[in-house]
Amino acid sequence: MKHGNRDMVRRKRRNSAEEQQDASLDQQVQQRNEELLWTNRAQQAEVAKRWRAGEALADSEQMLWYAALAAGIGMWHYDLITGDLVWNDRCKELFGYPSDFAMTYQAFLDAIAEEDRHSVDQAVQNALQEKSEYAVELRVMMQDGQVRWILCKGHAFYDAQGKPLRMAGIALDITQRKKTEAALLRAKEEWERTFNSVPDLIAILDEECRIVRVNEAVAQRINLAADRCVGLFCYQVLHGLDAPPDFCPHGQSMADKMQHIAEVYDPHLAGTFLVSTTPLISADGKSMGTVHVSRDITERKKAEEEIARLNADLEAHLAELGEMNQELDAFNHMISHDLRQPLNVMSLACQHIEMLCSSDNPECRCSIQTLEQSVVRMNGMIETLLSFSRSTHGTLSRQECDMSELVQVILAELNLAEPARRITTVIPQGIKVSADPRLLRTALENLLGNAWKYTGGCEQACIEFGVIEGEVKPVYFIKDNGVGFNMAEADKLFVPFKRLAGVDGFKGSGIGLATVEKIIKRHGGRIWAEGEPDRGAAFYFTLES
């Protein structure tokens, strides 16, 4: 009985222990379940968070994609492990590839201008090795021959061991920017060339008269490099003074903001200069300095002084010439009156002697005729000298003259004197000039008279008047088919009282062509001649309109 109770007690104790153990296990299971529940909830929250982050990243990438598309930005991704290169359509377009082209790194290099390929590839390798930003400007040769400038920028991504995994970046079309930069550079270079090629001394000064910049003309004048002048005081460098000189208009321009000009002699620069200062005004209206321009007028001043001296000499010569003209007028008066009076007396005496001489004295009559002919010849010489004198001085009275009509009148008068002559004339109508009619007639009378005279031996003479176009002004001419002349003696044609060889059989004073030349020169023209013995002569002349 006792033994049975002990077993019962042991069974009760064992059951109680098992119950406690089961209860403990249940508690542990419940606690584990609660932990799993919290873990599951945390994982679900993390998954939800990551999903939301993924969605946000996708949205961000999509927004970035749209922004890049709107901005015309090319985007690229280069997987360094697989070698895959992904470009968006804009990026392919920038490099001249179609949208369905399978991009490779080599295709990227092939699109680049040959002279840029090595430097671009080197920039990629340097960025990977130095873990720095990849940025390079390169040129792409398009199919139409145009050059497109591209700015490529990107970053590399590495693993924990520092091995590069991939690169990503953008490509921008900077062609217009490069053109603008080139244009600005050209403008700057052109400005620099202009600034330094101007022979005037140019200095840009600040408000305290310090040099901001000078051109090469200043540097050469003071024998100092242009960059070494910067910061120095203008009055020290240019004028060798310790303070601004009184003649410098820089201070005036700084005070009233106006341009000022002064003509000064600077002993330090050993010359006379025309100096101008133009103020430099800031955006808020303050005077910042001046542009100082000095033009060396030393030689001009010397020339002006020389001109003044020459003008004084000219006035003296004109006064002397006036006196000479008065003397010439007196001489002409003497020739016209004083010399002709004795000739008139001689002519009357010859007539009286002729009446006294008997008709049977031929020697007496012959002597009287010789004397009368000498009187007539002397009168002709006096008239010729007067004509030459009138052609060289006096005031021109220009008016429109019909030279064609004047030539016709003169030839008609010559024909009246010798109506038996067989002569052909060529005279175009309507040739008009501005000239002194009296002097023009004298010139034409001499030229046409010579042509008439020297064609006297021709069976069928011809005289032609006309005009041709010269390089600057019309050229008028009178031609004949007479005896002509040797061109070796052409320089003697217009010398007074100089007659050519072979014309002794023709009457003349030797002063006609000299008179013509004086008249033509007084009309601002020139005259020259062409001829050949026995083949005629041609005289050409111009007139100032």
The model's pLDDT over 281-322, given as tens digits with 9 standing for 90+, comes to: 888 888 888 998 988 888 888 988 899 999 998 888 878 777
What pLDDT was estimated at residue 434?
A: 93
Angle formed at CA 209 by CA 219 and CA 300, multiple of 5 degrees: 50
Q: What's the CA gap between 230 and 495, in Å, rounded? A: 69
Angle formed at CA 91 by CA 89 and CA 96, multiple of 5 degrees: 90
On the question of pLDDT at 528 being above 80, the answer is yes
Q: Which residues pair with 273 in a beta bridge?
A: 264, 296
What pLDDT was estimated at residue 67?
A: 52
| DSSP characters over 473-488 | SEEEEEEE-SS---GG
Burial group, residue 66, by CB count within 10 angstroms (0-12, 13-18, 19+)? exposed
Q: What's the CA gap between 263 and 199, in Å, rounded? A: 17
How far lies 118's CA from each of 154, 175, 354, in Å? 18, 21, 124
Give 462's pLDDT tier (boundaries 50, 70, 90).
very high
Give 498's pLDDT tier (boundaries 50, 70, 90).
low
Give 544's pLDDT tier (boundaries 50, 70, 90).
confident
- Give the number of other Cβ atoms within 10 Å of residue 436's Cβ: 20
Name the CATH superfamily housing domain 72-180: PAS domain (3.30.450.20)
Looking at every residue in the chain, the average pLDDT score rounds to 81
The model's pLDDT over 409-423, given as tens digits with 9 standing for 90+, comes to: 999 999 888 888 889
pTM for the whole structure: 0.41
Residues of the chain with pLDDT > 70: what percent? 79
Burial group, residue 107, by CB count within 10 angstroms (0-12, 13-18, 19+)? middle
More confident residue, 238 or 62: 238
Q: Please give the average per-residue pLDDT across 90-112, as a whole number.
A: 91
How far lies 338's CA from each of 116, 206, 342, in Å? 103, 83, 7
What pLDDT was estimated at residue 506?
A: 45
More confident residue, 390 or 258: 258
Q: Please give the average per-residue pLDDT across 393-405, as a whole number.
A: 84
Helix/strand/coil (H/E/C) assignment for every residue in 61-111: HHHHHHHHHHHCCEEEEEECCCCCEEECHHHHHHCCCCCCCCCCHHHHHHH
How far lies 354's CA from each of 351, 362, 364, in Å? 5, 11, 8
Q: Please give the average per-residue pLDDT across 533-539, as a whole number.
A: 91
Q: Please give the average per-residue pLDDT across 39-46, as a whole number.
A: 64
What pLDDT was estimated at residue 363?
A: 73
CA contacts within 13 A on the Cβ side of 258: 4
What pLDDT was estimated at residue 338?
A: 62
Give 408's pLDDT tier (boundaries 50, 70, 90).
very high
Q: Please give the average per-residue pLDDT across 500-512, as a whole number.
A: 55
Q: What's the CA gap between 181 and 149, in Å, rounded? A: 12
Closest CA to 290 of 202, 405, 414: 202
Specify the residue for token string 């680049």.
Answer: 112
Q: What's the CA gap between 215 and 201, in Å, rounded? A: 7
User: Which alpha helices (DSSP H) does 171-295 contain, by range?
Assistant: 175-197, 216-222, 226-229, 234-237, 250-256
CATH class assigned to 396-541: alpha beta
On the question of pLDDT at 512 being above 70, the answer is yes
Cβ-contact 493, 484 below 8 angstroms: no
Give the single-character DSSP code of 285. Answer: S
Q: Cα–chain-centroid distance for residue 315?
A: 40
Longest alpha-carbon distance in the chain: 236
Q: Please give the average per-residue pLDDT across 469-491, as a whole number.
A: 88
What pLDDT was estimated at residue 426?
A: 94
To 10 degrees, the CA torsion angle through 326, 329, 335, 336?
-150
Is 367 strand, coil or helix?
helix
More confident residue, 1 or 230: 230
Q: Please give the average per-residue pLDDT across 511-526, as a whole number.
A: 87
CB within 8 Å of 203: residues ≥ 6 apart: 211, 213, 214, 215, 218, 229, 234, 238, 291, 292
Give the single-character DSSP code of 233. Answer: B
User: What stretch of H or E contains 447?
Assistant: helix 437-454
Q: What's the CA gap between 26 and 536, in Å, rounded? A: 154
